[in-house]
Amino acid sequence: MKGSRGTRSTVALKILMALSGLAFIGFVLGHMYGNLKAFSGQAAFNEYAEHLRELGEPMLPHSGLLWILRVGLIVALVVHVVTALMLTRRAHAARTQKYAVKKNVASSISSRTMRWGGVTILVFLAWHLLNFTIGKINPATGDTGDAAGDPYSLLVDTFDLWWMTIIYLVAMVALGLHLHHGTWSSIQTLGFTSTAASRARAKAAGWIIAVVVAGGFSLVPLSVLLGIIEK
């Protein structure tokens, strides 16, 4: 098509999606590592949370780097969700008449659940932020705001509730699935998998990231519930 622009194509949308997705992967890896500090006890964990806010000082104001990170994440989130919506709309429009019978032969469950998985993560995220940062809602005590105490206490209080742990674990399943396909998919989207071997490596990376991230995150809530971590 004459005059068509590469930057407006579905492939370009996908590239944006992959880049924002990769940014998320970087974030969740770091965040998961941070969470594991919970095993080192209340002081270490809270110090770490505080340390996050001091990063970059004195060049940057207090919480400066954190805010840069937050803005980056918000931008990535907007990009990721908007491109997800656009691609989903296109895909639905590409086949309005469905098959009476359709078999899936080669695709993984994770690849077919990306859209619902994404929505699940989004809903989770909203609650999670209310829970831990914006609202600091402590479902155990019903306290909100600063009254909820330090981050460590909030964390332990939250996961002392079995149903909160379940919510988090379900979210981690969704995240693991999303990452299983998303990791390999983003590498393919960026064009680094043009041989069978590199494709196999990208798929392996998908497994590793999914297990490490979902597993790593799940350790803390489980440990709290089982009493390994306590106040």
Q: Binding residues for another protein, per CB under 8 A? A: 1-2, 4-15, 87, 90-91, 93-108, 111-112, 114, 181, 184-185, 188-196, 199
- In this structure, which amino acid lies at residue 34? G
In a 10 Å sphere around its CB, with 0-12 CB exposed, 13-18 middle and 19+ buried, how is residue 20 labelled?
buried
31 binds, among ligand HEM, another protein, none (CB under 5 to 8 A by kind): ligand HEM
Residue window 162-191: x/- pattern of binding to ligand HEM, with contact defined by CB under 6 A? ------x------x--x--xxx-xx--x--
Part of the chain binding ligand HEM (CB under 6 A), chosen from 3-11, 139-147, 197-205, 216-224: 216-224
Task: Indicate the SS3 state at residue 136.
Answer: coil
122 binds, among ligand HEM, another protein, none (CB under 5 to 8 A by kind): ligand HEM
165 binds, among ligand HEM, another protein, none (CB under 5 to 8 A by kind): none
Q: Is the dihedral angle over the CA atoms 161, 142, 46, 62 positive or is it negative?
A: positive
Residue 114: name the closest of 194, 227, 17 by CA.
17
> Residue 10 and residue 164: Cα distance in Å, rounded?
39
Q: Tell me which residue has tokens 């990306």.
A: 114
Q: How many residues bind ligand HEM (CB under 6 A)?
A: 44
Kindly state whether residue 155 participates in binding ligand HEM, applying the rule CB under 6 A.
yes
Angle, vertex CA 126, rays to CA 70 and CA 88, nearest 5: 90
CB of 193 to another protein, least distance (A): 4
> Residue 96 and residue 105: Cα distance in Å, rounded?
21
| Pair 212, 152: CB distance under 8 Å | no
User: For binding to ligand HEM (CB under 6 A), which residues are involved?
Assistant: 14, 17-18, 21-22, 24-25, 28, 31, 35, 49, 52, 70, 73, 77, 80-81, 84, 111, 114-115, 118-119, 121-122, 125, 128-129, 132-133, 151, 155, 168, 175, 178, 181-183, 185-186, 189, 217, 220-221
